[in-house]
Amino acid sequence: MLSYAVRRLLGAIPTLLVILTIAFFMIRLAPGGPFDDERTLPAEIEANMKAAYNLDQPLPVQYLRYLGGVLRGDFGPSFKYRDFTVNQLIWGGFPVSLRIGGIAIALAAVVGTTLGALAALRQNSGLDHGVMALAMTGITIPNFVVAPLLTLVLGVHLGLLPVGGYGDGSWRNLLLPVVALALPQIAYIARLTRASMIETLRSNFVRTARAKGLPEGTMLRRHALKGALLPVVSYLGPATAGIITGSVVIEQIFGIPGIGRYFVQGALNRDYTLVMGVVVFYGALIILFNLLVDLLYGALDPRVRYD
Amino acid sequence: MPTDLSATHPNQPVPPIAPLPAPPRPVRGRSLWADAWRRLLRNRAAVAGATILVLMALACVAGPMLIPYALDDIFWDAIQAPPSLEAGHPFGTDANGRDLLVRTLHGGRVSLMVGLVATLVSLVIGVSYGAIAGYAGGRVDSVMMRVVDILYSLPFMFFVILLMVFFGRNILLIFVAIGAVEWLDMARIVRGQTLSIKRKEFIEAARAGGVHGFAIVRRHVIPNALGPVVVYMTLTVPKVILLESFLSFLGLGVQEPMTSWGVLISEGAANMEAAWWMLVFPAGFLAVALFSLNFIGDGVRDALDPRDR
């Protein structure tokens, strides 16, 4: 298993390299630059600034320089947030993003599997139909619609929760963004759990467990749930990617000082290094999480062999 | 039989054999598609979804022609006016005093069109890529699929956003960008289908008849792989519409005065404390359209693939 993990980590390097290369050249070949402003700078000053950031060198040289920096863990200075390096910006925003995203994933996993399992146990009951309708809604209505609507009702009209902002990070500030992020994933996980639970409950080992007289609750806990949750575990990879992408919008809507908002702002500002930093950082994070999920899957399912 | 009868009733004449019943009408074979169509029509959610969607599409296409305002007409005396039938703005007006009904319908045109066209783009790329990879097999196949694997692991949303930011907001690019993201699954599905189809006798016959490789793929392989493709396509349309509104919401979609549901929702979200109607109507249209499309998609899947019901 260790050698498998190492091999997967090594396999991630070319993927990261592809991500970095595509992003780099896409950004650099596009029209516009970080020093385009309403006020045009005198030519000498602009040349000096470009030289200061090595933007005056040929593109391949810049690329290799950047690559060398990233290998040493240095994403370079930000072009727009003048006194900050990209590393500082990313590490400054990451705890906030991690907190919101982490709670959202945990919430999605717990609530989604619970709802899905309950629906499967009471198949075709009112509860089942209710959960499935809820799941359909969660899948259909995007979180950038849910978020403003929740804010409108709970924040503006009822005044129960703050409309936006992170404040000191209390649960009142976190609740709406977390729910908005988690809702689509809850919906997917509930659907997945229900489908695989229904299948598991019809399988032979469940019949055997019942036949040998195991109480229904023990049977569920010890046998059925474990089998039924396997597809959910493998969905956690895409779910993380979804939550990371969603955070780009949700952080913007709620004014959360995480990494997501840097991405769009940075792209609009032509803040090359910041955008690159976010892309590479999140790309690495998604790859890493996918690896963890695969290892977890192998630990849960003894049929999986690493070879 | 007649011998039996004469044995039990030796003195009686053999009764005349009853005339054969009229031969039944020849059984009309039902094709896969006819079968699927019948199942689809029995699915009430799918039929309701389709009806609503058609009505909505008609409203989006015809509505702006029937309403006497253009999408960028400004009503200076009715800026951010609440919905009112008497004032002639059943959905109200936006922050620039433009009629929201017209804008919502126009936005619907864009959103629905993006959904269709971008899905077609992904369909064309994905089907041809997958069919070629599957049919060619061997090293070509493994290289082509390896490329798909790598593309899969990229954080695509980020690239689409970069593309939109750096190369300007134009609607053609939206089609290409979204189509370029969505073709991967399609390619995998079609490749899998092709791998099994190419072992069939009719392919062998075509090859023996001297048909060229590409012609075989086009005339024989692709038509037979179409079932799962259609299922996946109907489920792609709502995904694409969602993606477009996501981009528009970030301010990266179509440009003013053109609009789409995502743009309107984003404006509505910014103004919702003062003008709820700016958020509620476009969001409602988007939600209803997505619901309908998802119901149709589920219906088509159940109809063409009755196994997992």
**Whole-Å CA distances, B43 to B150, B234, B301:** 39, 15, 11
ipTM reported for the complex, 2 dp: 0.73
Is A144–B276 a contact, with Cβ atoms under 8 angstroms apart? no
Is B265–A145 a contact, with Cβ atoms under 8 angstroms apart? yes
DSSP-derived 3-state class of residue B99: strand
- B309: confidence class by pLDDT, cuts 50, 70, 90: very low
Domain ranges of chain A: 93-256
What is the rounded average pLDDT of the residues B264-292? 81
Chains A, B: CB contacts within 8 A come to 108
Degrees to nearest 5, angle at CA A244 with A238 and A245: 90
pLDDT at B192 over 50: yes
Q: Which pLDDT belongs to residue B8?
A: 52
B167 touching A (Cβ < 8 Å): yes
For residue A141 the two structure tokens come to 């209505």
Which of B153, B163, B294 has the CB atom closest to A140's CB atom?
A: B294
Provide the shortest C-alpha distance from residue A236 to chain B (in Å). Answer: 14
Is B272–A151 a contact, with Cβ atoms under 8 angstroms apart? yes
What is the rounded average pLDDT of the residues B222-236? 79
B161 touching A (Cβ < 8 Å): yes
Which of B150, B245, B273 has the CB atom closest to A156's CB atom?
A: B273
Beta carbons of A69 and A76 less than 8 angstroms apart: yes
Taken in order B227, B228, B231, B236, the sign of the CA dihedral is negative
Q: Which pLDDT belongs to residue B308?
A: 47
Give the residue with greater pLDDT, A172 vs B167: A172
Q: Which pLDDT belongs to residue A110?
A: 92
Among B187, B193, B201, B188, CA closest to B225: B193
Class of domain A93-256: mainly alpha
Which of A19, A136, A248 has the CB atom closest to B154's CB atom?
A: A19
- Count Cβ atoms below 10 Å from residue B88 Cβ, excluding itself: 15
Chain B's closest residue to A34, CA to CA, is B166
Among A145, A139, A183, CA closest to B280: A145
**Whole-Å CA distances, A40 to A34, A35, A45, B166:** 12, 8, 10, 20
As a whole number of angstroms, the distance between CA B125 and CA B112 comes to 20
What percent of chain B has pLDDT above 70?
84
As a whole number of angstroms, the distance between CA B254 and CA B238 comes to 18
For residue A251 the two structure tokens come to 């952080």
**A158 phi and psi, to 5 degrees?**
-90, -20
Spell out which chain A residues touch chain B, with contact meaning CB-CB distance below 8 angstroms.
Answer: 14-15, 18-19, 22-23, 26-27, 30-32, 136, 139-142, 144-145, 147-149, 151-152, 156, 163, 241, 244-245, 248-249, 252-253, 263-264, 267-268, 275, 278-279, 282-283, 286-287, 290
Task: Report pLDDT digits (tens) over B114-140.
Answer: 888 888 888 888 888 888 888 887 888
As a whole number of angstroms, the distance between CA A181 and CA A281 comes to 20
Q: Which pLDDT belongs to residue B1?
A: 46
With beta carbons under 8 A apart, name residues in chain A contacting B162: 23, 26-27, 267, 275, 279
For residue B263 the two structure tokens come to 């743009």
**What's the N-to-C CA distance of chain A in angstroms?**
9
With beta carbons under 8 A apart, name residues in chain A contacting B276: 152
**CB-count exposure of residue A100 (10 Å: 0-12, 13-18, 19+):** buried
pLDDT at B236 over 80: yes
Beta carbons of B240 and B119 less than 8 angstroms apart: yes
Provide the shortest C-alpha distance from residue A299 to chain B (in Å). Answer: 23
**Long-range contacts at A93-97 (CB < 8 A, ≥ 24 apart):** A93/A257, A93/A258, A93/A259, A93/A261, A93/A262, A94/A258, A94/A259, A96/A166, A96/A169, A96/A256, A96/A257, A96/A258, A97/A247, A97/A251, A97/A256, A97/A258, A97/A259, A97/A260
pLDDT at B55 over 70: yes
pLDDT at A285 over 70: yes
Beta carbons of A27 and A276 less than 8 angstroms apart: yes
Provide the shortest C-alpha distance from residue B92 to chain A (in Å). Answer: 18
Provide the shortest C-alpha distance from residue B244 to chain A (in Å). Answer: 11
As a whole number of angstroms, the distance between CA A98 and CA A95 comes to 5
**Whole-Å CA distances, A94 to A108, A121, A180, A293, B149:** 20, 39, 19, 21, 28
- B85: confidence class by pLDDT, cuts 50, 70, 90: low
**Whole-Å CA distances, B281 to A134, A150, A210, B245, B262:** 21, 15, 52, 15, 12
Beta carbons of B32 and B227 less than 8 angstroms apart: yes
Q: Which residues pair with B93 in a beta bridge?
A: B99
Q: Which residues pair with A77 in a beta bridge?
A: A85
B69 touching A (Cβ < 8 Å): no
Mutate to test the interface with B, among A141, A144, A291 (most CBs of B within 10 A): A144
Is B158–A283 a contact, with Cβ atoms under 8 angstroms apart? yes
pLDDT at B291 over 80: yes
The b-or-e profile of B105-122 (16+ CB within 10 A means b, else e) is bbbbbbbbbbbebbbbbb
Mutate to test the interface with A, among B157, B163, B185, B240 (most CBs of A within 10 A): B157
pLDDT at B145 over 50: yes
With beta carbons under 8 A apart, name residues in chain B contacting A148: 265, 268-269, 272, 279, 283
DSSP-derived 3-state class of residue A302: coil
The b-or-e profile of B241-277 (16+ CB within 10 A means b, else e) is bbbbbbbbbbebbbeeebbbbbbbbbbbbebbeebbb
Among A286, A178, A296, A174, CA closest to A238: A286
With beta carbons under 8 A apart, name residues in chain B contacting A145: 265, 283, 286-287
Task: Report pLDDT digits (tens) over B1-40.
Answer: 455 544 555 566 667 777 777 766 777 767 777 777 888 8
pLDDT at B162 over 70: yes
Q: Which pLDDT belongs to residue B78?
A: 66
Degrees to nearest 5, angle at CA B115 with A234 and A137: 50
Angle between helices A260-268 and A272-300 (to 10 degrees): 150
Beta carbons of A269 and A126 less than 8 angstroms apart: no
Beta carbons of B281 and B104 less than 8 angstroms apart: yes
Taken in order A155, A159, A165, A170, the sign of the CA dihedral is negative
